[in-house]
């Protein structure tokens, strides 16, 4: 979906009327408000929408926003201690049942080096550089995703007799996966943070698009045939953001 970022401000503990993100969507027909721990208040507007009307719109939704903000604040208290940290001390990849402790070492290296063992990761180099540190971890995550998600997709494809053309690993911001008309399946590297059952469902979901490039009744009938409890996992995916730490989504 084509989009243009207008402004981005932090929200959770701030005044709702002054802090929000506006995203212009060429496909949007109506204004849509969403509120999350990571993004705060995001407002999607059609391309021709007069954004001077937004303060009044937000004011009219203030009671709802206050309720959502209280709920998200409670959810934030239940998240791991380093969920919001750009200096993570642990990485848990539920999809492949692997957990790593993380250590940091300042050194004279110009680039950050990463050493991985069975249960630990050491970053050495200019680790005080927040952007470089996070990018190195995200690069490691992409490598892990290629190693594990692509073979997983291949095996699932064979098991279900649903063929695809090619797999790609992406760092999508808003999608867990996609399937193109040329049957190229893209998978979000952050799937590794999710429980394995949710990842299995996502793989089946995208593979079924190789037969039906839509979400029609025929499509969902095929999903139900290949993954009978798909509704349970479809609902679970709505809360999957909880498993993905902020550094991986930055």
Highest mean pLDDT among 11-15, 24-28, 231-235, 246-250: 231-235
Whether 11 has a pLDDT exceeding 70, the answer reads: no
- Mean of the pLDDT values across residues 59-73? 86
Average pLDDT, integer, range 56-67:
89
Among 2-6, 71-75, 208-212, the range scoring the smallest mean pLDDT is 2-6
Segment holding 22, helix H or strand E? strand 21-25
Across 151-250, the runs of DSSP E, i.e. the strands, are 166-170, 177-179, 184-188
Fold of 90-249: Zincin-like (3.30.2010)
Any idea how long the chain is?
250
Q: What is the pTM of this model?
A: 0.79
Average pLDDT of every residue of the chain = 88
Q: What is the pLDDT of residue 166?
A: 97
Round to whole Å and give the CA distance between 82 and 246: 9
49 within 8 A of 31, measured Cβ to Cβ: yes
State residue 89's pLDDT score. 94
Please state, for a pLDDT cut of 70, what percent of the chain lies above it: 93
Cα separation, 32 vs 27, whole angstroms: 12
pLDDT in tens, 121-170: 999 999 999 999 999 999 999 999 999 999 999 999 999 999 999 999 99
All structural domains of the chain with their residue ranges? 3-77, 90-249
Residue 1: predicted pLDDT: 23
pLDDT band at 81 (very low <50, low <70, confident <90, very high): confident
Give the pLDDT score at 215. 94
Predicted confidence (pLDDT) at residue 8 exceeds the cutoff of 60: no
The predicted pLDDT at position 72 comes to: 79
């Amino acid at each position: 979906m084509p989009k243009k970022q207008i402004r981005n401000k932090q929200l959770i503990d701030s005044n709702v009327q002054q802090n929000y993100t506006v995203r212009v969507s060429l496909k949007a027909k109506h204004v849509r408000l969403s509120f999350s721990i990571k993004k705060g208040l995001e407002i999607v507007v059609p391309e021709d929408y007069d954004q001077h009307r937004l303060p009044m719109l937000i004011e009219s939704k203030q009671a709802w926003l206050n309720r959502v903000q209280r709920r998200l604040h409670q959810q934030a208290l239940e998240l791991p201690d380093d969920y919001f940290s750009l200096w993570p001390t642990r990485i848990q990849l539920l999809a492949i049942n692997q957990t790593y402790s993380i250590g940091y070492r300042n050194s004279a290296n110009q680039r950050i080096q990463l050493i991985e063992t069975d249960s630990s990761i050491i970053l050495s180099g200019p680790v005080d550089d927040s952007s470089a540190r996070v990018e190195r971890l995200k690069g490691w995550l992409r490598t892990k995703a290629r190693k594990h998600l692509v073979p997983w997709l291949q095996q699932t494809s064979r098991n279900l007799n649903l063929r695809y053309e090619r797999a790609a690993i992406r760092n999508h911001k808003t999608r867990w996966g996609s399937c193109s008309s040329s049957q190229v399946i893209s998978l979000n590297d952050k799937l590794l943070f999710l429980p394995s059952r949710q990842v299995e469902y996502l793989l089946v979901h995208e593979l079924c698009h190789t037969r039906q490039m839509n979400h029609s009744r025929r499509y969902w009938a095929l999903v139900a045939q290949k993954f009978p409890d798909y509704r349970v996992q479809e609902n679970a995916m709505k809360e999957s953001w909880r498993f993905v730490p902020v550094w991986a989504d930055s």
